[in-house]
Amino acid sequence: MKVQRTWMLAAILIVSGFVATSCRQAVKEIPAEEDCSQFVAVTDVVPDAILEIRYYSTYNFVAARIDGYEEPLALMTQQAADSLRAASDDFRKLGYCIKIYDTYRPQMAVSHFVRWAENLADTATKHCFYPNVDKSRLFEEGYIAARSSHSRGSTVDLTLVDIATGKDVDMGGVFDWFGMESHPDCGGNPETMEYRQNDTITAAQFQNRMMLRSVMLRHGFQPIDSEWWHFTLANEPYPDTYFTFPVKRLLQTK
């Protein structure tokens, strides 16, 4: 009887060990760049934001839907979305709502841009997006790069819409225009917000850009030197992580 009990105990220990090992194997750790658990849909946080997700459509400089954009959604880290909500509230007090062109951009989308830029024979969209820049210079001039702050989840490309008229605010240029005309300092000093007479944008257009810039700055977003529409949360939570999951509805989105 004692031998039988010993045998049964040994069998139980073996089975228990097998189950424990199987459970450990089943719980697979998600790589950091694939973890979307801290992201939210922007429209769940900023319900009145207008979405015009250009990379889900063919209306972009590649003239095709970009890899990784499976749905026309705007995703951001919770911290960035909360700050964008605060900025949106301020814009609304001024009579405007935000229109979003792009937020989180998976690394596969950035790689798609790189492949397009390396194909110098494809200039189908040159007249619409980069008429004054040779395609061979897009990397050198910083319009295309192998990494993007968008992939870190706390960057937004946006403009403003006049609530009274329903029309886009005139910024003196269009989204994703590759050229000096898109630079915040085109037509003035973005630090002092003083207009400088020029033949590219009017004083009103420059002031519209500065209005967008000043509110975004007030709520913790930082601009860049080449695009008036681009802002990144200064204290972004994942400054070194370039996420890879696709743009699609998140299961945990409230």
183-229 pLDDT, tens digit per residue, is 999 999 999 999 999 999 999 999 999 999 999 999 999 999 999 99
Angle at the Cα of 174 from the Cα atoms of 244 and 62, rounded to 5 degrees = 45
91 and 192 in one domain?
yes
DSSP, res 90:
H
Q: Which two tokens stand for residue 241?
A: 């992580």
Q: Is the pLDDT of residue 161 over 90?
A: yes
46 and 23 in one domain?
no
Q: What is the mean pLDDT of the chain?
A: 91
Tell me which amino acid residue 175 is.
F
Q: Is the pLDDT of residue 136 over 90?
A: yes
Residue 241 CB partners (closer than 8 Å, separation 6+): 32, 33, 152, 153
24 and 138 in one domain?
no
What pLDDT does residue 237 have? Answer: 98
- Which residues are 158's β-sheet partners? 100
Q: What value does the CA radius of gyration of the chain take, rounded to a whole number of Å?
A: 24
Tell me which amino acid residue 73 is.
L
78 and 152 in one domain?
yes
18 and 84 in one domain?
no
In a domain, residue 117? The reply is yes
Place of tokens 């395609």: 135
pLDDT category at 5 given cuts 50, 70, 90 is: low
What pLDDT does residue 76 have? Answer: 98
20 and 88 in one domain?
no
In a domain, residue 238? The reply is no
Q: Is the pLDDT of residue 7 over 70?
A: no
What pLDDT does residue 2 have? Answer: 47
* % of the chain residues with pLDDT over 70: 88
pLDDT category at 252 given cuts 50, 70, 90 is: low
What pLDDT does residue 30 have? Answer: 85
79 and 169 in one domain?
yes
In a domain, residue 254? The reply is no
What pLDDT does residue 12 have? Answer: 42
Containing structural domain, residue 18: 1-30
What pLDDT does residue 11 have? Answer: 46
118 and 22 in one domain?
no
Angle at the Cα of 140 from the Cα atoms of 149 and 117, rounded to 5 degrees = 75
Please return the burial class of 102, using the count of CB atoms within 10 Å of its CB with bins 0-12, 13-18 and 19+. buried
In the set 33, 141, 227, 236, the catalytic residue is: 227
Q: Is the pLDDT of residue 51 over 60?
A: yes
In a domain, residue 248? The reply is no
Q: Would you say 176 and 132 are in contact if contact means Cβ atoms under 8 Å apart? A: no
23 and 125 in one domain?
no
Tell me the pairing of strands 96-102 and 50-51: parallel
Place of tokens 């004054």: 132
Whole-angstrom distance between the N-terminal and C-terminal Cα of the chain? 59
In a domain, residue 251? The reply is no
201 and 129 in one domain?
yes
User: What CA–CA distance (Å, rounded) separates 171 from 48?
Assistant: 21
9 and 41 in one domain?
no
Q: Would you say 187 and 201 are in contact if contact means Cβ atoms under 8 Å apart? A: yes
Query: How many domains are there within the chain?
Result: 2
Over residues 8-34, the pLDDT tens digits come to 444 444 444 443 443 344 446 889 999
In a domain, residue 8? The reply is yes
Q: Mean pLDDT throughout 92-106?
A: 98
Q: Mean pLDDT throughout 83-91?
A: 98
SS3 140: coil
Q: Is 29 marked active-site?
A: no
What pLDDT does residue 101 have? Answer: 98
18 and 127 in one domain?
no
User: What CA–CA distance (Å, rounded) separates 62 from 123?
Assistant: 9
